[in-house]
Structure 1
Amino acid sequence: MQQERAQLHEEAQKLKEEIQLLNTAINTCQQQLPATGVPITRQRFDHMREKFREYVCTQTLQNWKFWIFSIIMEPLFESYNGMVSTASVEDLCRSTLTWMDQHCSLPALRPMVLSSLRLLSTTTAILTDPSLLPEQATLAVTQGDPAAALDHSLQPAPRQ
């Protein structure tokens, strides 16, 4: 039993040393990664952003309420777009899981949603005259600026 115990102790020591070597290798690999995360090409980033905006425009013109949803979702989309790699299936899975851990927890989502709602409440008439929101949503996606939609909808209508 003493001999077996000594053998198990020796095996445990070897495993601890192996763990230490693997941790060192992991740290070395992590230090070689770019500081901003997974390298994403600017062209892909801009293309995805444009596709998102086109989709928001199409959906908003069908139902103005989608625009409100898009305001809440845009920061989440931007973080996903900037962090998730599609270089390979493995990269996609790994970077998506990392993104979810960092950006989809309640502590991360709460301030993001609050900021989006603050933007909505300061760039539209949702708090003062919610009946203007459908028009503002349509103007925002056709003109590309929610603040412009607010400015336009607060001005008096032209007399005919």
Structure 2
Amino acid sequence: MLLPFLIAGGVGLVLLLVSLVLGDLLDHFEIGDGAISSTALAVGLVVFGAAGALTISIGLDLVWAYVLAAVLAVVAYALSVLAVRSLTRSSDGTPQSAIGLTGVAKSDVSSAGGEVSLDGPGEIERRLAYSDSPIAEGARIRVVEHAGTRVKVAAD
């Protein structure tokens, strides 16, 4: 009696872990404009399994375990879809260019690397940087190129 709920919860947990590590697997298929999400599906399966197992453990009939688990799973799925959509809309996905920003070298910067702190909006962390010519720690810098997570800087 308990086995179907444990299997559903286990599959949901594995799918949730895979979705957290690899991203939303169903997102690549453009199904229903985000209405089907592997993350939300995983949450629904986990809730279904947990609700069913808990309902059986407190002594309710098997039919009520399935009904309660299904209702809670649908609610959890719907709330998860809304949360995933909200988070997707809130992130623009395109990093802002740092070219032209100024800042300070937080370590010696060379062609091998270094760290800088930039004076731009949203720049709250240090960035990995490199430079064609050596720049001493504490020197003012200007970003001349943006390459992924690193910036190429020159003395300002």
* Structure-2-length-normalised TM-score: 0.32
Q: Name the structure where strand makes up a greater proportion of residues.
A: 2
Higher relative contact order (CA 8 A, sep 6+): 1
* Structure-1-length-normalised TM-score: 0.32
Q: Name the structure where helix makes up a greater proportion of residues.
A: 1
